Amino acid sequence: MKTFFKVLGIVVILGIFGYTLYFLWDKSKEKPVVFETETPFYSDVIKKTVATGSVVPRFEIEIKPVVSGIVDELFVEEGDKIKKGDLIAKIRIIPNMINLNNAKARIDRARINLKDAKRNYDRQFGLLEKGVIAKADFESYEVAYQNAREELETAEETRQLIQEGQLKKSGTPTNTLVRSTIDGMVLSVPVEVGNQVIEANNFNAGTTIAAVADMNDMIFKGKIDETEVGKIHEKMNLILSIGAIDDLKFQAKLTKIAPKGVEENGAIQFEIEANVKLLDEQFIRAGYSANADIVLERADSVMVISESLLKFDDDTTYVEIETGEQQFEKRVIETGLSDGINIQVLSGLNEEDKIKKAS
């Protein structure tokens, strides 16, 4: 019995040892490599470049006051649609005290002169009626009286302009009322009631009361790298992708390419503009970021393969074609347009050819 168990133990040990050797040998064997293949297919190949930018109104007008003062009332808010001539704000004049004081002093002097001229006029008119003086002598007093009246009227108008910013008798819209100069939408109102505003003059651009733009006339304004600018030209078609509107594409036509570039982050960028064709009832907010795909070249419904299948030998382009079960041969092909993923095949392949993929 003891002998049986000894023999059994030896057999088990030998079996384990043998299995271990077989396992290590099997693991050390190289498994045959099986290469996958692809066949050519037909597709559109579009070579394009991308310009980044934003969609903005073609014309954005800043409405500024023609008089300085305090914003007394605001009649619009951001997003309001307005017409040319619609009221935007009312300005309360804060007159310059020195100029106002000078204007009032001028009025006082003009009244004194008018009173004196009136007295002389009345005196000479009485003498004229009695025949004491000739009409020619009287006319000089009449002219002096009329000049004095005109001087007083002018002085009062000057004071009115300084104090109120308008002439009541003129019949024209008051300068203190700020009105829109175009039809459009109010994009921003950067002032509040009570803010002080300054009129535009030779030394100051003036305070913007509101920005107004026609939101039905939008353009794409972006920048393109110097390496691509030589490949584009005006009237090229663009396809706009707006970040805030994922599911829609917009058509645009290139209208402007800047003749001078500017350096940004070590690269020269050229500004471009394109007219945007808006979809019916589609509202685009000013300033939406957008990418413009500019089609440089395209080939429709042509035979293509994945560009990763290509191999190169000096100036020769080739692929490996399956001739038998996992057997391949080199075949030179002629290629055309590439979009960076697929490449057009001009000659050298058939639809049935199986092309070896990289392992």
According to DSSP H, which parts of 57-96 are helical? none
- pLDDT tens-place string over residues 242-291: 988 878 888 899 999 999 999 988 889 999 999 999 887 778 899 999 99
Structure tokens at 260: 């001078």
Cα–Cα distance between 253 and 257 in angstroms, integer? 12
- Residue 350: helix, strand or coil by DSSP? coil
What pLDDT, on a 0 to 100 scale, did the predictor assign at position 95? 67
Domain regions of the chain by residue span: 37-45+300-356, 50-57+215-298, 61-95+171-213, 97-169
What pLDDT, on a 0 to 100 scale, did the predictor assign at position 17? 67
- pLDDT tens-place string over residues 156-212: 877 776 666 666 665 554 678 899 999 999 999 999 998 989 888 788 888 999 999
Cα–Cα distance between 124 and 142 in angstroms, integer? 9
Total count of residues recorded for the chain: 359
Decide if 114 contacts 120 (C-beta within 8 A): no
Summarize the confidence of residues 143-151 as an average pLDDT: 86
What pLDDT, on a 0 to 100 scale, did the predictor assign at position 163? 67
Decide if 92 contacts 69 (C-beta within 8 A): yes
Cα–Cα distance between 198 and 175 in angstroms, integer? 13
* Class of the CATH-defined domain 61-95+171-213: mainly beta
Residue 142: CB atoms within 10 Å? 16
CATH number of 50-57+215-298: 2.40.30.170
What pLDDT, on a 0 to 100 scale, did the predictor assign at position 168? 62
What pLDDT, on a 0 to 100 scale, did the predictor assign at position 111? 87
What pLDDT, on a 0 to 100 scale, did the predictor assign at position 131? 77
Task: Give the whole-number percent of the chain exceeding pLDDT 70.
Answer: 86
Select from 104, 103, 73 the least CA-distant residue to 87. 73
DSSP track, 233-279: -TT-EEEEEETT-TT-EEEEEEEEE-SS-EEETTEEEEEEEEEEEPP
pLDDT score of 231 more than 90: no
**Better-predicted residue by pLDDT, 257 or 12:** 257
DSSP track, 186-223: EEE----TT-EE----SS------EEEE-TTSEEEEEE
Contact partners, residue 342, CB within 8 Å, separation at least 6: 43, 45, 304, 305, 306, 307
Least confident of 21-25, 295-299, 306-310: 21-25
The distance of Cα 148 from the centroid of its chain, to the nearest Å, equals: 59
Structure tokens at 100: 């106002």
Report residue 126's pLDDT band, with 50, 70 and 90 as the boundaries.
confident
Fold of 37-45+300-356: 2.40.420
Cα–Cα distance between 337 and 346 in angstroms, integer? 9
Cα–Cα distance between 56 and 67 in angstroms, integer? 30
Fold of 97-169: Helix Hairpins (1.10.287)
- Residue 320: helix, strand or coil by DSSP? strand
**Better-predicted residue by pLDDT, 137 or 57:** 57
According to DSSP H, which parts of 63-197 are helical? 97-130, 135-164
- pLDDT tens-place string over residues 64-85: 998 888 898 999 999 999 999 9
